[in-house]
Amino acid sequence: MTPKNTLICTVGTSLLWPNLKELPNAETYESWLKKQPSVDQPHLTLDRVLALADAAQRKDTRAIAAQLVKLPGATRLCGAEINSINDLIEREYCEVGSSLYFCHSDTNDGGYVAEIIRHYYLKLGYPIELDSIEDLQDQDPKRFRTKGLRNLAKTVCRIIREHGAPYCAINATGGYKAQIAIGVLMGQALGVPVYYKHERFSEIIAFPPMPISLDHQLWMQQSGLFVALDRQVCLPKTDLDLDDWDERLETLVEQVEIDGAIYLELSPTGQIFHETFKGRFESERDRFLPPPVQTARKSKPSLTDHNWGHAREAISAFMQRLIDECSYVQGCRTHYWNPSISRATLFRLKSNEIEGVFSNGTWTVKIIVETSATTSGQQEACIAELNARTANWKL
């Protein structure tokens, strides 16, 4: 097994509630100590506990960390995150000195606990990064589900892409139960081991690999939809011109009603699905794409001969950029124009041709993109690459 040198950890608040919040004073110390695990008691001296209680009272994250470092990492008082990481390192599931990434909730308590953990591991010489997951909070359940969990998936996938799946592990011990579920699903999708330690477990456990399958072809076919929904929180269903609803999208794309209109948004599972195949396609696109078109065989953009208002220059420039930057694109021609509607910008298969939908929010043009693709697989790869390439264009 490749040694894991990057550990991605979800963060909860067990270190704060109840550990730090229920520290005793000198009068209650003896009764508090009796409630601690017997193996921990010799380390929890009165002076040490009172010093920790004083630091916690002052909310001094550096001082709290300085006191926790004096305790064995397995001491329950140190909290779920430190306990589980200590176990992972001791059992050599991860290397000593591994890069640690902590994904914490978008709450005051989450950020506070993360800061303590940061100082703790900096004192031990570990490289560490904190990632506050926007909208991962417990005040608004809908925002937690539709945005928070998706942002968690994006962050974890980014870290794995940067370091490489063979070198990463996920510690899903801390945080909301839904975070654990997302961590497990991401590990299964990306081939990354996922670990979990319950406070009553004598040791950390690894979730066993499960025989799940994700449909790469579905992502290639629907890449325009996934890129458009990833770019925005949600889109009116009418903006996507969906002729047929593929039942395979049911668990990946959610339909919600807002003010009487139907909107589409990625589910947390859909975000993982998109991040998984986006990363995989980025590393393997050359294997799927058709051969490049020789420069001499490329043609200029073709616009139908009618009044385009002030849009002609923008449309022509968009098509020319496709021809210039996409080696497999031979030419582009317009075949639809509406000066007064908005649609999501994307590429898709339409009547066995690659159709691009380009909109500035006030007008919409549809173009046919001619490529060197000779098979349906190459055509799907072109569509996926076009959607990925244009996702960050300033349109």
Q: Is the peptide bond before 208 cis (omega within 30 degrees of 0)?
A: no
pLDDT at 211 over 80: no
212: confidence class by pLDDT, cuts 50, 70, 90: low
Q: Residue 112 falls within a domain, yes or no?
A: yes
Range 211-232 average pLDDT: 88
Range 272-290 average pLDDT: 92
Average pLDDT, the chain: 93
The whole domain housing 157 covers: 4-206
- Whether 242 and 192 share a structural domain: no
* pLDDT (0 to 100) of residue 8: 98
* pLDDT (0 to 100) of residue 327: 97
Total tally of structural domains belonging to the chain: 2
- Whether 259 and 164 share a structural domain: no
- Distance from C-alpha of 274 to C-alpha of 230, rounded to nearest angstrom: 8
Nearest to 158 by CA among 177, 135, 133: 133
Domain boundary among 163, 188, 206: 206
pLDDT at 21 over 70: yes
Q: Residue 395 falls within a domain, yes or no?
A: no
- Whether 243 and 336 share a structural domain: yes
State the pTM of this model: 0.87
91: confidence class by pLDDT, cuts 50, 70, 90: very high
Strand order in the sheet with 128-132: 128-132, 94-104, 4-10, 168-171, 194-196, 205-206
- Residue-wise pLDDT tens digits, 130-185: 999 999 999 999 899 889 999 999 999 999 999 999 999 999 999 998 988 888 88
- Residue-wise pLDDT tens digits, 244-255: 678 889 889 999
pLDDT at 104 over 70: yes
- Whether 151 and 221 share a structural domain: no
- Whether 318 and 352 share a structural domain: yes
pLDDT at 38 over 90: yes
pLDDT at 25 over 90: yes
The answer to whether 344 and 359 are in contact (CB under 8 A) is yes
- Whether 122 and 235 share a structural domain: no
- Whether 179 and 246 share a structural domain: no
- Which SS3 state, helix, strand or coil, does residue 357 take? strand
Q: Residue 283 falls within a domain, yes or no?
A: yes
- Distance from C-alpha of 361 to C-alpha of 10, rounded to nearest angstrom: 38
- Which DSSP helix (H) or strand (E) runs through 298? none
Regarding predicted confidence, which is higher, 208 or 336?
A: 336
The answer to whether 51 and 26 are in contact (CB under 8 A) is no
Identify the CATH number of the domain in which residue 74 sits: 3.40.50.10770
* pLDDT (0 to 100) of residue 1: 65
- Whether 168 and 78 share a structural domain: yes
Q: Residue 211 falls within a domain, yes or no?
A: no
Domain boundary among 151, 176, 206: 206
- Residue-wise pLDDT tens digits, 312-363: 999 999 999 999 999 999 999 999 999 999 999 999 999 999 999 999 999 9
- Whether 185 and 300 share a structural domain: no
- Whether 241 and 371 share a structural domain: yes
Tokens, residue 160: 């794995």
Q: Residue 311 falls within a domain, yes or no?
A: yes
Q: Tokens 């306990």 label which residue?
A: 83
- Whether 279 and 136 share a structural domain: no
Domain boundary among 173, 206, 239: 206
pLDDT at 111 over 80: yes
Q: Residue 91 falls within a domain, yes or no?
A: yes
* pLDDT (0 to 100) of residue 103: 97
Q: What is the DSSP string of 172-220?
A: --SS-HHHHHHHHHHHHHHT--EEE--TT-SS-EEPPP------HHHHH
- Which SS3 state, helix, strand or coil, does residue 337 take? strand
- Residue-wise pLDDT tens digits, 225-236: 999 999 987 899
- Whether 28 and 104 share a structural domain: yes
